[in-house]
Every structure is written in C-alpha cells, then in structure tokens.
Structure 1
Amino acid sequence: MIPAAFEYYRPQDMAGVLAILEEHGDDARVMAGGHSLIPMMKLRMAEVPHLIDLQDVGGMSGIEVGTDSIRIGAMVTQSDIIDDARLAAAAPILREAALQIADPQVRYMGTVGGNVANGDPGNDMPGLMQCLDARFTLVGADGERDVPAREFYEAAYMTAREDEEVLTAVTIPLPKGGYAYEKQKRKIGDYATAAAAVQITKEGDVCDSAAIAMTNLSDTPVYSEAAGAALVGTALDDAALTAAAAAMLNDIDPTEDNRGPIAFKKHVAGVILRRAILRAWSRA
C-alpha cells in the first residue's frame, strides 16, 4: 500500500499548473481531493511520476447560482454542496446525491471536479451531471473550452479531457420539476451497485420531459434518451415505468464483480430506476 516514487508540486496559479503539465505530458496528473487517485497510486494501479496538487490554485472554489444556470468550481467539496442553502434551493438533487457519497470524512475533502474528471464509472457525480445536462469547462495551453457531460465519458477512466488540460468548473442549467437520486450499495461508503438520477417535468398529470442517467452499470455513466422518452406523454402508469426500465436495460452493460452477478445488477437497476422515477414524479 505504498505508491511508487513521485515528484509533488503545489503551484499557486493555473499558469503554474499548465507549465508542469506541458513539461511532463502524460507523466503528470492533477489532484483535487485525491480520494480516487491516491488509493489507485497506493495500490500501484496508477503510477504518477509528477503529481500536481490544486489546493493552492485560486478561483475554483466558488458556487454561483444565477437566474438560468449554476456554476460550481472544480475544487468545491461535496460538503460545500451540502451546506450551501442557495444551491440546495435551486438544485436540491445535488445535495441529495452528495449526501449519499461515501461518508462525512470523504465528503469534506472529495471535490466535484475530482469526482467528474477522472472517469471512474463508480463515481456518483458523472451520471448526475449527464442527467442535468451539465457542461465541463476545460483549460489548457490553447485556452478554454466547454464539453457537454453527455459527451465527456469515453470508457472507464478515459474522457474527452486532454492530458494537458484541467477541468476547472461545472455549469448546470437551472433544474426544473421533480428530482431524485436513488442509490443501492452494499454498505456505507461503498460505490453503488446501481444508482439513478432522474429529473422530470410535467404538464397537468402528464410527463412533459424526463432525463435519466445511471451509475456503475457500464464502463461509463449511462444517459438513456430512450428511458426518458418512454415516460414523456404518459401519466407514469405501470406500463410507462416498465418501458423506461426496459429501455435502460438495453443501454447498460454491467459486469460481474464483488457487488453481484450481471442478472442481479440488472434487477437492482430496474428497482432503483423505478423508485427514482416515482419519487421524482411525486416532487414534480
């Protein structure tokens, strides 16, 4: 449980971060909270000759709630999300999800940027950000660009971020309607066996729109347009719920591991999704 030797850097600004990344290329990695990267280094699942700590870089720890969008700095912690009253009022699903991440000790250090940037299929925030149609701001030597969360994840631990780019912020359109983040896990602090993020709007008694994403059921988070479309135009009767679950099952590709066999994971996914949809509908 001892990592390979590495050089440690703690630059004071983004220019310093980018200079180190440019010098060392894919031998360098940035660290926000470190709760994903450090365990991988200690287990020798990742070797990082040059580790860049972002703790002293300013400008990435703010939460801005606007009239039509929310901007969250990459260094905002899960605890910050839980404690921000304006954010909880504007996007309560963020607080609901953050409260289900690991335990308080992790949430005090674990950051939004770290959770979404490294492409871990078990992390909670990537699927949630896809559900909310978030955009990730990436900064590199060539400037700044935004990448939709729904296009960011390519495979396990592989994303659209280039080696010399840093994810600095997440921007979310102001959520509307009902919401739910449901998670099933073996024990407190564990990754999800399955988790579902759902956002629903309705017109009268009919579903007007639905966004659905699930976590830890494929090598990337899964945003299912088909599952959402199965609910639109319905009153969320049993047939609509069954159709949404069937559509999601067509989009996921779980593997067998210590959280259970494939058939069990698919069953749990269906149960969790139905539960999340009904709770979001009750809040719409």
Structure 2
Amino acid sequence: MFPDKFEYYAPKSIEEATKFLSGHEDAKVLAGGQSLIPMLKLRFTSIPELVDIGKISGLDNISINGNTLEIGAMARTSDIAENQTVRKIFPLLSEAAGLIADPLVRNMGTIGGDICHGDPANDFPAVMLALDADFIASSAKGKRTIKAEDFFIDTFTNALESGEILTGIKIENRNSSGRYLKYKKYAGDFSILGLAVDLSMDGKMVKRAGIGLTNCGATPLKARDAEKFLEGKELTNKNIESAANLLLKVTDFMDDDNGSTKFKEKLLKYLFTKAVKGIGGVQE
C-alpha cells in the first residue's frame, strides 16, 4: 500500500525545524522512520506534514561530558550498540541496543525515534527508566528537561508539547552495571515482555536500583517499589524473590495470543531473577 499524500520538509537546523513546527500543529517529526514509515504505508495513520530531522548536523553525537553520557536523538541504534564507551560504562544500554529488531532496523533506527514513538513494546524506553535518564526537548521557546519517568503518558503518547522535538538524552554515570533481557517468539520480533535492570553496588549491598519494564502495560513502566525494596539490601535469593513479586504491582497483563497473564507474570519474575543474579554474581 501507499501512504496518503503529505508535505515533506527537511530543515537543516533545530531552529528551522522548531520554527516550522510552531506553526504547524499537525506536523510529525521523522527520525529513523522504522516505526512511522510502515504505519504510513499501511495507512494506520495519516500525517499532512512530515518534518525530517535527519539532515540536521550534530544530532547523532554520542559523548561523555564530565560524568554524564550525552546522546543525540538521531544517534543510530547500531552506533549505540557498538560504541565502546557506552559498552564499558553503560552495559545495559549497549546490550539493549544490540537486541533491538534486526541489523537493518538497528542501522536505520534512532534512539529518539524509538523513545518518542511511545510503543510499550519498544526496548529503549525501559532502559531509560532504569537509568533515570533526562530528555532534552527543544522548541522555538527554548529547551526544557523532562525526566524519563514523566515522559511516557499513554500508548503512543509522550510528554512532548506541540512544537517540541526531542533533541538529546543525558544519563548520569552512577558506576552501575545492568542487564536487558527479553522474551520473544521470533528473531527480530517485538518482545512478549522484557525488562531493564541497573544496579549500583557497594560491596554486596545494593546502593541504587533502577528497573524498567517493556510490554508489561499500556506504557513502559518503572518498578519503583521493587527498586526501593532492593536499595540498602544484599542480593540474597530471598530478597530477589521479594523484589520480583513487587514487579507485579505495576504490571497490567492481559491474556492474549502471547500467553496468559499467569504465564507472563511467571516469565517476568524469571527474567528479573536471571538479570539480577547475572549482575550481582549471586550463586544459584
């Protein structure tokens, strides 16, 4: 199928892009296009004006500024997965990027597009929640910072206001280690569910815990109760099991073709236990 007709606009600067958006409320920003283009072709959505930010220089940077990782919204998923600094300091982010879809999607898809699409089955949002990332939104009025936990409003709905573009992501280095695990039926398919776990350790004690859930509800979810429970505790089998049970307080599973609610709850707890033990070196 072919999409409905639309006007195509390719600004060369953020200022030019935000100025255009401020006067065109129905316009949509195009980043990597790996989610938006298929939806347009299948006519799941219709957009009168498309603003392609792919020609704006500097939006694909990946760098360390002091103690903070800064990622441009147009950074390709494959570049994040292969970046040696990200792999060393933020293994959770690197692992998740390498598990997204297939090489074609990773080479074309962007972190900003993945996050802004608002699909609860996308992988980067849960990682951002676990890492307590900050998002930089730019508009004709200036810039503002949105915390990851405040960004995901509903399915396919985020906290960006009319005229705003997600231009960057900032993640503080907390000397942590993490894992991203997911379960899917087919290679390259969306996850039945997944989770991101990030832990900062002080010896055997959990100093800080970050947990984000993929495809466990209408939006990406942050498991705050489980995070708070783990902090200040050792990673014993008992504590891990208690934290796993707390994950279910935020999930909103439904029976569907991917399995029953009970199956998904059991699967989530299994993946969480595997992730935490992998990070903390807990003996079986």
Distance in 2 (CA, whole Å) between partners of 1:162 and 1:54 is: 17
What residue in structure 1 maps to residue 268 of structure 2? 269
Contact 1:32 1:114 in 2 (8 A): yes
Measure how far apart 1:177 and its partner are: 2.7
Distance in 1 (CA, whole Å) between partners of 2:271 and 2:86 is: 25
Greater displacement, 81-90 / 165-174: 81-90
What residue in structure 1 maps to residue 57 of structure 2? 58
The alignment's TM-score, normalised by the length of structure 2, stands at 0.95
Measure how far apart 1:205 and its partner are: 2.2
Contact 1:119 1:157 in 2 (8 A): yes
Distance in 2 (CA, whole Å) between partners of 1:215 and 1:189 is: 15
Distance in 2 (CA, whole Å) between partners of 1:204 and 1:28 is: 51
5 Å-filtered alignment, 1:1-284, equals 1-25=1-25, 27-282=26-281
Contact 1:91 1:175 in 2 (8 A): no
Q: Which runs of 5+ in 1 are unaligned?
A: none
Distance in 1 (CA, whole Å) between partners of 2:204 and 2:20 is: 55
Measure how far apart 1:11 and its partner are: 1.4
Measure how far apart 1:35 and its partner are: 0.7
Distance in 1 (CA, whole Å) between partners of 2:3 and 2:265 is: 36
Number of equivalent positions: 282
Measure how far apart 1:258 and its partner are: 3.3
Q: Partner letter of residue 130 of structure 2?
A: C
Secondary structure at 1:146 match in 2: strand
Contact 1:90 1:174 in 2 (8 A): yes
Measure how far apart 1:147 and its partner are: 0.2
Secondary structure at 1:198 match in 2: strand
CA offsets per residue over residues 69-124 of structure 1, 9 Å max, x none? 10000000011112222222221221111110001110001001101112111110
Distance in 1 (CA, whole Å) between partners of 2:253 and 2:113 is: 24
Distance in 1 (CA, whole Å) between partners of 2:15 and 2:206 is: 47
Runs of 4+ in 1 over 6 A off after TM superposition: none
Secondary structure at 2:192 match in 1: strand
Aligned sequence identity (%)? 35
Distance in 1 (CA, whole Å) between partners of 2:262 and 2:214 is: 16
CA gap of 1:144–1:244, structure 2 versus 1, over 3 A, is same
Secondary structure at 2:248 match in 1: helix
Distance in 2 (CA, whole Å) between partners of 1:134 and 1:69 is: 10
CA offsets per residue over residues 197-233 of structure 1, 9 Å max, x none? 1111222322222111111111111111111122233
Measure how far apart 1:20 and its partner are: 2.4
Greater displacement, 171-180 / 119-128: 171-180
Greater displacement, 239-248 / 86-95: 86-95
Greater displacement, 145-154 / 269-278: 269-278
Distance in 1 (CA, whole Å) between partners of 2:96 and 2:77 is: 9
Distance in 1 (CA, whole Å) between partners of 2:195 and 2:213 is: 4
Distance in 1 (CA, whole Å) between partners of 2:134 and 2:23 is: 28
Distance in 2 (CA, whole Å) between partners of 1:262 and 1:6 is: 41
CA offsets per residue over residues 31-54 of structure 1, 9 Å max, x none? 100011111212222211111111
Contact 1:194 1:272 in 2 (8 A): no
Q: Partner letter of residue 11 of structure 2?
A: P
Greater displacement, 101-110 / 178-187: 178-187
Contact 1:178 1:282 in 2 (8 A): no
Distance in 1 (CA, whole Å) between partners of 2:199 and 2:277 is: 10
Q: Partner letter of residue 209 of structure 1?
A: R
Structure 1 vs Structure 2 CA RMSD: 1.5
Distance in 2 (CA, whole Å) between partners of 1:123 and 1:226 is: 23
Greater displacement, 203-212 / 153-162: 203-212
Measure how far apart 1:251 and its partner are: 0.7
The alignment's TM-score, normalised by the length of structure 1, stands at 0.95
Distance in 1 (CA, whole Å) between partners of 2:28 and 2:83 is: 29
CA offsets per residue over residues 6-42 of structure 1, 9 Å max, x none? 11111111222123212221x2100100011111212
Contact 2:10 2:53 in 1 (8 A): yes
